[in-house]
């Protein structure tokens, strides 16, 4: 669990990264300037919204760099590299709401059928990573807010991964993770 001060620092880093990016500049992160908690490797997702509408969402599924750097890089990518949306511009900055989700380590789920998998899902708690060969997709736990039925949640995750919503294979790999999420007020 992150304390409120640490959450505030991460939100400020994300906001500063996006503000500088809108001016075609990049933030310079000196890892040593941050607490030990933020220097530790971590995985995050940064979600951007304008008037409650998604404007960008990019993240890391595995901890591979210091958390503060992961948040900065994902904030930049969500604002300027999420190909589903036009890049954030200076006019968007005042309307932009930033949310950050810190991922706990994913754990592989054990199941023999889709019904077994569905029975194990914990709505509003689990994020899922679904993978079959080159197909891969993830939904953060916050997606349960709009897809609150486990059958729909799994079907739409399959579609996001590039599979048919009714697809099933014994080679399907699903991992679950939880997040600690926080937003600007």
- Report pLDDT digits (tens) over 139-162: 999 999 999 999 999 999 999 999
- Report pLDDT digits (tens) over 27-52: 999 999 999 999 999 999 999 999 99
pLDDT at 114 over 80: yes
pLDDT at 131 over 90: yes
Instruction: Summarize the confidence of residues 91-110 as an average pLDDT.
Output: 97
Give the residue among 75, 103, 99 at the shortest CA–CA distance from 18: 75
> What pLDDT, on a 0 to 100 scale, did the predictor assign at position 70?
98
Instruction: Summarize the confidence of residues 116-122 as an average pLDDT.
Output: 97
Instruction: Indicate the CATH number for domain 4-103.
Output: 3.30.700.20
Average pLDDT score over the chain: 96
**185 confidence band (pLDDT: 50, 70, 90):** confident
Task: Name the segment(s) of the chain with CATH classification 3.30.700.20.
Answer: 4-103
Q: CATH homologous superfamily of domain 107-179?
A: Hypothetical protein ph0010; domain 2 (3.30.1490.150)
Distances (CA, A) of 46 to 118, 151, 161, 166, 167: 27, 26, 19, 30, 29
- Report pLDDT digits (tens) over 135-144: 999 999 999 9
Strands 96-103 and 43-50: antiparallel
Task: Name the segment(s) of the chain with CATH classification 3.30.1490.150.
Answer: 107-179
pTM: 0.92
């Amino acid at each position: 669990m992150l304390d409120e001060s640490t959450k505030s620092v991460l939100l400020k880093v994300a906001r500063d990264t996006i503000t500088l990016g809108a001016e075609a500049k990049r933030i310079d992160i000196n890892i040593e300037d941050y607490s030990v908690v933020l220097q530790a490797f971590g995985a995050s997702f940064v979600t951007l919204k304008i008037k409650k509408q998604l404007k960008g969402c990019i993240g890391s599924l595995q901890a591979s760099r210091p958390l503060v750097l992961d948040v900065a890089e994902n904030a930049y990518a969500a604002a300027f590299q999420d190909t589903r949306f036009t890049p954030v511009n200076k006019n968007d900055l005042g309307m932009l709401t930033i949310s950050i989700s810190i991922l706990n380590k994913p754990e592989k789920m054990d199941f023999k059928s889709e019904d077994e998998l569905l029975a194990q899902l914990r709505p509003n708690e689990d994020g899922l990573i679904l993978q079959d060969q080159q197909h891969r997709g993830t939904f953060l736990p916050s997606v349960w807010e709009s897809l609150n039925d486990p059958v729909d949640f799994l079907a739409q995750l399959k579609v996001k991964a590039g599979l048919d919503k009714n697809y099933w294979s014994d080679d399907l790999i699903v991992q679950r993770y939880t997040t600690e999420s926080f937003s600007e007020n």
